[in-house]
Structure 1
Amino acid sequence: MAEATWSVGRVAKRCGVKVSTLHFYEQKGLIKSWRNNGNQRRYKPEVLRRISIIKAAQKLGISLDEVKQAFLSLPDNRTPTTEDWQLLSTNWQQMLDARISYMQKLRDQLTGCIGCGCLSMNSCPLYNPDDILAAKGNGPVLLDQSSAQHQT
């Protein structure tokens, strides 16, 4: 008996995405299909799990490149199993915790100084004579420095 396959339209409808989104995911190497004798795209039902993971990751701010790297880390680029998902989600949780910490620090300092050393604000609480913070790097060096400390 032949294995069940799904059309591109059925997958798109079931996943709540456009057909063009499926084509995009395929182009990025996140999902795969094949062509039947009538030259129509066909998918294995397990593609639904991959798309669900992609959509969940995107809602969390995880890039498609990060999702692709996670998928590539699986043996034979298989669809993640429950055990695979536990590992992927743990890794993503650590990354998200670092992002959340960074955003909380940014939120807390947003109305004051974000540590960039720009001296452009009239009441900047950061004393940065002669732009001494430039030696520590570009951008919000104090914010980046304290976030790096939280990650260790």
Structure 2
Amino acid sequence: MAPHEEANLSVGQVAKRCGIKVSALHFYEEKGLIRSWRNQGNQRRYKRDVLRRISVIKAAQKIGITLANLQKIFKQLPDQRTPDKDDWAGLSGQWQQQLNRRIAYMEKLRDSLTGCIGCGCLSMKNCPLYNPEDTLAQQGTGPVILER
């Protein structure tokens, strides 16, 4: 059976099942994250595995993984297949590490938010940071204290 013969889900069916707009499907396809086939009436049709692929996309986006990162990951899969159980184990392990780093950063931000944003701006009236001549600028841009 040819791949296009298995592609029998319409755009509307996939959008409804995945809880996304049809325009999102078109966007994902444009970015190479999913693919469709055209039927004899030139309408897009999707294979059932697109549901899992979109679920991976949505899960990744919720934890801050970029679409560009997903493109790279999907391109590394043999024949750009949909991630299987083993692929998911590897991906989720990587993403868990990234998420842990983001959580640690957010906790640090939360804990210092009322005192100082760590940038050395000295614009606060009661700044706990003494930063004469903006010496923090030598360490980098932005909230350098939070980046430590």
Same fold (TM over 0.5): yes
Q: 1:120 aligns with which of 93, 117, 123?
A: 123
Q: 1:52 aligns with which of 50, 55, 59?
A: 55
Q: 1:16 aligns with which of 15, 19, 22?
A: 19
Q: Alignment length, in residue pairs?
A: 145
- Secondary structure of the residue aligned to 1:42 is strand
Matched, 1:70 2:73: yes
Residue 4 of structure 1 deviates from its aligned partner by 5.2
Name the aligned partner's letter for residue 129 of structure 1: P
**Counterpart of 1:110?**
113
Which residues in structure 2 correspond to 1:92-107 (within 5 Å)? 92-107=95-110
Q: 1:26 aligns with which of 24, 29, 32?
A: 29
**Counterpart of 2:135?**
132
What's the CA shift string for 1:8-56, capped at 9, x where partnerless? 1111111111111111111111100111111010111100000111111
Q: After TM superposition, where is structure 1 displaced by more than 6 Å over at least 4 residues in a row?
A: none
Matched-pair identity in %:
68
**Counterpart of 2:87?**
84
**Counterpart of 2:40?**
37
**Counterpart of 1:149?**
none
TM value normalised by structure 1 = 0.90
Cα distance between partner residues in 1 of 2:73 and 2:96: 13
- Secondary structure of the residue aligned to 1:143 is coil
Cα distance between partner residues in 2 of 1:53 and 1:4: 19
What's the CA shift string for 1:55-75, capped at 9, x where partnerless? 111222222222222212212
Cα distance between partner residues in 1 of 2:73 and 2:18: 20
Q: 1:7 aligns with which of 5, 10, 28?
A: 10
Name the aligned partner's letter for residue 43 of structure 2: Q
